[in-house]
């Protein structure tokens, strides 16, 4: 989708982008071929040339800096190293509370980082990724991580599924949305909430209840394991709604 994208240009929006597509200018190469010699389009051509180079060199930061926040979804299929993230904490304030568990799904396997065990290993792990996908992470998970783990480098390219799904009319919390998509959790995890996650951590730290920790880790893993399915659906729906499918076959 990125090579068909023009909304990152100054003064461009969806309607202007669609107008270009309808005129036969459907890719960055089309734009450069059509307007490359025009002095009036010099700045746009320069930006598109930079976009082509950034995509070729897998510069995710470039697109994080140039795409509108509500259009970050367009980058999804172009970067393979995506971290699907979710955190559990002892409370809502990063200044007063701690991260207890970070779950990272790499697309095939879930990795868990636990306070007091291997949480610091997350510094090195997250640095391997080009992009991050969360549910409500722009308001909670990412700010909390950055405040709690000083100097950590979280990928700049971030797609927040809460707002992406909401733009498609899919609203509510993650558990509610999972049910709409018939995504199942283990029986003993059904009905658990963030508050339950806090209680499970307390049971582990105060009573040395390893079963409580196991349940907390599995609860957290469930939060990240379905994010890939949801964003794959959302990407297809958003792409369809741009109208690009009317002009290209794939």
- Tens digits of residue pLDDT in 182-232: 998 998 898 889 999 999 999 999 999 999 999 999 999 999 999 999 999
Supply the range of the domain harboring residue 185: 82-233
Q: What pLDDT shows up at residue 26?
A: 96
Domain membership flag for residue 168: yes
Cα 126 from Cα 124, distance rounded (Å)? 6
Q: Please report whether residue 7 resides in a domain.
A: yes
Residue 180: the pLDDT is 95
76 lies in some domain: no
Residues 48 and 113 reside in one and the same domain: no
Q: Using 70 as the pLDDT threshold, list the residues of the chain that sit under it.
A: 249-250
What CATH number has the domain bearing residue 220?
Answer: 3.30.420.10
Q: What is the DSSP string of 153-180?
A: ---SEEEEHHHHHHTTT--S-HHHHHHH
Whether residue 72 is contained in a domain is answered as: no
Assess if residue 77 is contained within a domain. Answer: no
* Among 90, 63, 194, 205, residue whose Cα is nearest residue 144: 90
Domain membership of residue 113 (yes or no) is yes
Can you give the pLDDT at residue 250?
59
244 within a domain of the structure (yes/no): no
Give the CA distances from residue 226 to residues 41, 52, 85, 108, 138, in Å, rounded to whole numbers and listed in that order.
43, 32, 11, 11, 18
Determine, yes or no, domain membership for 71. Answer: no
Judgement on whether residues 195 and 113 belong to the same structural domain of the protein: yes
102 and 147, same structural domain?
yes
Query: Is there a single domain that holds both residue 195 and residue 145?
Result: yes
The pTM (predicted TM-score) of the whole model is 0.94
**Rounded Cα gap, residues 144 and 89, in angstroms:** 9
86 and 41: one domain? no
The pLDDT value recorded for residue 132 is 98
Shared domain for 41 and 152, answered yes or no, is: no
Total domains in the fold of the chain: 2
């Amino acid at each position: 989708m990125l090579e068909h994208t023009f909304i990152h240009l100054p003064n461009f929006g969806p309607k202007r982008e669609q107008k270009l597509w309808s005129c036969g200018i459907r890719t960055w190469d089309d734009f450069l071929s059509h307007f490359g010699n025009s002095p009036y389009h010099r700045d746009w051509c320069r930006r598109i040339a930079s976009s082509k180079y950034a995509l070729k060199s897998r510069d995710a930061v470039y697109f994080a800096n140039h795409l509108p926040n509500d259009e970050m979804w367009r980058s999804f299929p172009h970067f393979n190293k995506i971290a699907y993230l979710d955190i559990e904490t002892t409370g809502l304030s990063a200044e007063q509370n701690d991260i207890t568990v970070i779950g990272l799904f790499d697309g095939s396997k879930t990795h868990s980082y636990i306070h007091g065990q291997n949480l610091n290993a997350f510094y090195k792990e997250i640095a391997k990724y080009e992009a991050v996908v969360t549910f409500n992470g722009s308001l909670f998970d990412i700010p909390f991580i950055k405040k709690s783990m000083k100097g950590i480098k979280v990928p700049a390219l971030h797609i927040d599924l809460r707002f992406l799904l909401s733009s498609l009319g899919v609203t509510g919390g993650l558990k509610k949305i999972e049910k709409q998509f018939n995504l199942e959790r283990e029986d003993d995890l059904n009905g658990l909430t963030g508050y339950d996650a806090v209680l499970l951590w307390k049971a582990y730290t105060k009573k040395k209840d390893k079963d409580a920790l196991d349940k907390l880790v599995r609860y957290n893993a469930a939060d990240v394991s379905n994010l890939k399915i949801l964003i794959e659906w959302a990407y297809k729906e958003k792409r369809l709604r741009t109208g690009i499918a009317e002009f290209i076959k794939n």
